[in-house]
């Protein structure tokens, strides 16, 4: 097969932007998707499009028809689709009770349904090829749910569940599904944070309603002291891409500050999970 074709969602900033640049530097053919490339993201789209090996495509992952059309066009043009990286997302903090049903639906639509739309549109080609790699960007908060980030955590927990089951279902076809669990990094995601829109409940929480703001201040000080490098995430992604199929781990932690906590949990759970699959006669899926 010729050089890898890599499809990445949410490349206008943060991990997606860095990953697009890193994959292009490796010589991969990159399709970098961005929303609103003619308006608010025009400058970033122009910059990426001027980078060798990067093709910028407008896409909103909440639009099912657009996802299908974009994936189909890439396959028609390239004749292959080797890697998809479901990175599109946004951070949500604050009190869980302040989130309306609409707020929750929006969070799930981007993080979970968006990843599934791209995955479902890509799998037929990957199975046909007999190889492919699906990388879903989760979080350490997809393993442990921290307070005052509950709705965001819930979406990442769902990404973990989607990825883990699918990892075993499609392995027999030569397709790998992998999860990246980043920690907190000083990227643009925190500047675009959302909070629940039901402000009526805030007074009843008293001083607790101020905790999210205190968390943000504490995180800022942590960044200053430890200076975590967000390039750690695209480096972990590149390592997965370059690892032979069938040898890629399900979960990779990319966290220079609190990653040991998540790593320990991942290792302990995997032992018991392997026992679970074996007990139910699915040990072949572990190979």
Neighbours of 129 (CB within 10 A): 17
Which listed residue (17, 31, 152, 195) is catalytic? 152
Work out the angle at residue 183's Cα, subtended by the Cα atoms of residues 182 and 189, and round it to the nearest 5 degrees: 85
- pLDDT score recorded for residue 258: 76
- pLDDT score recorded for residue 191: 61
What distance in Å separates the CA atoms of residue 72 and residue 175, rounded to the nearest whole number?
A: 18
Rg (CA), the chain: 19
What distance in Å separates the CA atoms of residue 112 and residue 135, rounded to the nearest whole number?
A: 13
Return the percent helix, strand and coil in the chain, to nearest 5. 55, 15, 30
Mean pLDDT in order along the chain per 10 residues (287 residues): 89 95 98 95 96 98 98 98 97 95 98 98 98 97 93 98 98 97 74 86 92 73 72 97 97 86 92 92 89
Which listed residue (4, 106, 113, 156) is catalytic? 156
- Provide the pairing of β-strand 83-86 with 132-137: parallel
Active-site residue 122, yes or no?
no
Q: Where are the domains of the chain?
A: 5-259
- pLDDT score recorded for residue 221: 67
- pLDDT score recorded for residue 81: 98
- pLDDT score recorded for residue 209: 87
- pLDDT score recorded for residue 1: 47
- pLDDT score recorded for residue 36: 94
Strands (E), the chain: 5-8, 29-34, 54-58, 83-86, 92-93, 132-137, 175-182, 194-195, 251-254
- pLDDT score recorded for residue 185: 74
- pLDDT score recorded for residue 223: 65
- pLDDT score recorded for residue 220: 66
Give me the half-sphere count of Cα atoms (radius 13 Å) on the Cβ side of residue 24: 20
Topology given in CATH for the domain delimited by 5-259: Rossmann fold (3.40.50)
Which listed residue (122, 138, 139, 163) is catalytic? 138
- pLDDT score recorded for residue 112: 98
What distance in Å separates the CA atoms of residue 177 and residue 250, rounded to the nearest whole number?
A: 7
- pLDDT score recorded for residue 107: 97
């Amino acid at each position: 097969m010729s050089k890898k074709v890599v499809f990445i969602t949410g490349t206008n900033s943060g991990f997606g932007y860095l990953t697009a640049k890193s994959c292009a530097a490796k010589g991969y053919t990159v399709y970098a998707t961005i929303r609103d490339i003619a308006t608010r993201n025009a400058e970033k789209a122009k910059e990426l499009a001027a980078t060798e090996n990067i093709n910028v495509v407008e896409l909103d992952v909440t639009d099912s028809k657009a996802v299908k059309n974009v994936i189909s066009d890439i396959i028609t043009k390239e004749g292959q689709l080797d890697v998809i990286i479901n990175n599109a997302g946004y951070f949500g903090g604050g009190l869980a009770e302040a989130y309306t049903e609409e707020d929750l639906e929006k969070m799930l639509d981007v993080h979970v349904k968006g990843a599934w739309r791209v995955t479902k549109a890509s799998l037929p080609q990957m199975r046909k090829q007999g190889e492919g790699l699906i990388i879903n960007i989760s979080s350490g908060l997809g393993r442990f749910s921290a307070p005052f980030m509950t709705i965001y955590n819930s979406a990442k927990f769902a990404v973990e569940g989607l990825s883990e089951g699918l990892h075993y279902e499609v392995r027999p076809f030569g397709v790998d599904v992998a999860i990246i669990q980043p920690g907190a990094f000083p990227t643009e995601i925190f500047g675009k944070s959302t909070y629940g829109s039901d402000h009526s409940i805030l007074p009843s929480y008293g001083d607790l309603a101020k905790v999210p703001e205190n968390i943000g201040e504490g995180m800022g000080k942590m960044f200053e002291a430890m200076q975590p490098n967000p390039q750690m995430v695209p480096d972990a992604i590149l390592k997965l891409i370059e690892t032979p199929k069938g040898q890629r781990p399900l979960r990779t932690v990319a966290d220079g500050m609190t990653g040991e906590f998540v790593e320990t949990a991942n290792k302990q759970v995997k032992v018991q999970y392997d026992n679970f699959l074996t007990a139910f006669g699915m040990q072949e899926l572990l190979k």
